[in-house]
Every structure is written in structure tokens, then in C-alpha cells.
Amino acid sequence: MKSFDAFLFEPAELPTFEVAKESHTSHGDVPSLLKWTGSKRSQAARIAAFAPSHERYYEPFIGGGALLFMLGKPGAVGADIYAPLIAFWKLVRDDAERLIDDYTTQWAALQADLPGYFYIVRDRFNADQRPEDLNFLMRTCVNGIVRFSKSGQFNNSFHLSRKGMLPQRFAKIVREWSAHLQGIEFRNGDFQQTTADAQSGDFVYLDPPYAGNKQRYIGDLDVDRFYSVLDELNRRSVKWALSFDGTRGETAYDYSLPAELYKRKELLKSGYSAVAKVLNGPVEMVTESLYLNY
């Protein structure tokens, strides 16, 4: 469960079921680079443990990239339909020092103008969608929640207690990620386009944006088409793992994935509802389903 394109919600329309980006469980060895709603950083090691041996790894809903960090090797594919997100990952891979210099400059500007500078950057991002600005906004907005208005404008607010990671620490993390991403291919496109060349021996991890509320999608996720892609992967003997539905507290959010598509289902605790915290609602444990076709 995570961002597929972006979330089109005004503040009053935010869903109350959202996976916290980080829980109190161990994050393994995945350094926290990009704050992203529904990040699998807290679950990465547990999910990766289910990965079969494989040739090429695909992640068509990359988000914060935690699984890519653990499973990616030269030739792997990280993808997303949201173009600024893919531009960010390419920047980390290809020009780490540019990203570091930009963040260092923006961090200093924020300290000198709190919170005014945040809103300057937000307006600029909405105009030109620079990946450097996306990084800055996700580092400093409320709970790192990806939130857009109905007109497609990034509209989350400044997190008053979050003044941004210190530039020295950020630089260390970016350089570590950059070294890790060499040889990784990044694609901008939907889940069908970006996995079209996956074949027998490859492994696909899918983490589409699902929260028990179909209104969460930009343009809606065509669930039938998504199921069709899973079926096609099965026909090509491509192994896949899918994080999809789950529970919040005592409430089940089950989308009834067709039983013929998968062979087993695991339940993983993923933390507490981040959006519920923002809206001062009940904070409940979130459990996600991991479906496997092997």
C-alpha cells in the first residue's frame, strides 16, 4: 500500500486507513532517504525474506524504494507512474552531489525562514515539479504524507516540529543510495507497461495504493486490469509478491483478490495509522496482506 501516482484529496477527504511510514520495528539496513506515504521500510526485511531466487527484479510502484534497496541489483527495474518520483530516483543514481548541494541550500533557507520557505518551495514545485523540491517537501511536510488537491497541486502543510534532516546526515544517506543504485533502471509508466518484459525467472514486487477506499486513486486503479496483469505474469511464469489489502484495528479491508491468482497469503504488521494521527482519529495497528503466486 503506497502512492501509485499521488493522492487526490482535500484535507477533509483524507482516508482514515493509511499505513504509517515507520513503526517501532527494526528497519533493517535500509537508510531512510525519501519520505513517502506507505513506505515499506519497516517491513522490507520481512517481505524480502519471502522473495524467491530470481534473475531480474521489478518494482512497478517504487515509492520510497525500500524493497529495491534490499533486492535490487544491476539490471533491476524501479518504476512508478508519477514522473517527478522517477526523476528523483534518477537524480539520486546519476547526480548525487547535485541533490546534496540543493538540499543543503534549501535546508539553510528553511532555517532562516520558518515556515515561509516551505510554501515558497511548494508553489515552485507545483509550477515545475523539480525532483529536488519533491525531496525537500517530503522531508518537511506533515508526516511525510503525499497529498494533492483535486486540481493536482501538492497541498500538504509544513510539519512545525520537522525542520529537516541535517545536511551532513542527508549527504551520507544519498551517497550510500547512489552507490547502491548503479545499474538500476528507472521507468516512468504504469504497472502493465513497466513489467511488460518480465519473464520466467524474474521476480516482481507490487505495492499498489490500496486503503479500503477506491477514491484514493488518481483516476482510480482499474482493479480488473490489475488482476489481468497478475494473470498475465502467471502465464509467463513470472513470480510475484503483492502487498494489497489488510486490517486496521478490528476492521478488515479485504478486496477479495481472486484465489486462482495466488498460492498463499501472509499477514504482516506494518505499524500504526499515520493519517489517523494527523486527523486526531483513533490510532490503530495496521496489518497488511502479502500475496504470493509461488
Query: Phi, psi at residue 58, to the nearest 5°?
Result: -125, 140
The answer to whether 102 is annotated as binding is no
Cβ(91)–Cβ(98) below 8 Å: yes
Confidence check: pLDDT of 214 > 60: no
Interval 158-207: pLDDT, tens = 999 889 999 999 999 999 999 999 999 999 999 999 999 999 999 999 99
Would you call 55 helix, strand, or coil by DSSP? coil
Closest CA relative to residue 123, chosen from 103, 152, 153, 83:
153
Interval 47-99: pLDDT, tens = 999 999 999 999 999 999 999 999 999 999 999 999 999 999 999 999 999 99
Cα–Cα dist 237/10, whole Å: 41
pLDDT the model gives residue 90 = 99
Q: Name all domains of the chain by residue range, CATH numbers in brackets.
A: 11-292 (3.40.50.150)
Output 42 or 81, whichever has higher pLDDT: 81
Cβ(76)–Cβ(230) below 8 Å: no
The answer to whether 80 is annotated as binding is yes
Confidence check: pLDDT of 277 > 70: no
| 97 burial via Cβ count (<10 Å: 0-12, 13-18, 19+) | exposed
CB count within 10 Å of CB 244 equals 20
Share of the chain above pLDDT 70, in %: 83
The answer to whether 214 is annotated as binding is no
Cβ(223)–Cβ(210) below 8 Å: no
The answer to whether 101 is annotated as binding is no
Range list of β-strands (E), the chain: 57-59, 77-80, 185-188, 203-206, 239-248, 251-253, 264-272, 285-292
The model's pTM:
0.85
Cα–Cα dist 238/203, whole Å: 6
Alpha carbon separation from 59 to 79, 113, 268 (Å, rounded): 6, 38, 19
Would you call 93 helix, strand, or coil by DSSP? helix
Q: Among 7-16, 52-61, 206-215, name the one with the lowest average pLDDT.
A: 7-16
pLDDT the model gives residue 146 = 83
Upper half-sphere CA count for residue 170 (Cβ side, 13 Å): 24
User: Residue 175: which residues within 8 A CB-CB, separation 6 or more?
Assistant: 96, 100
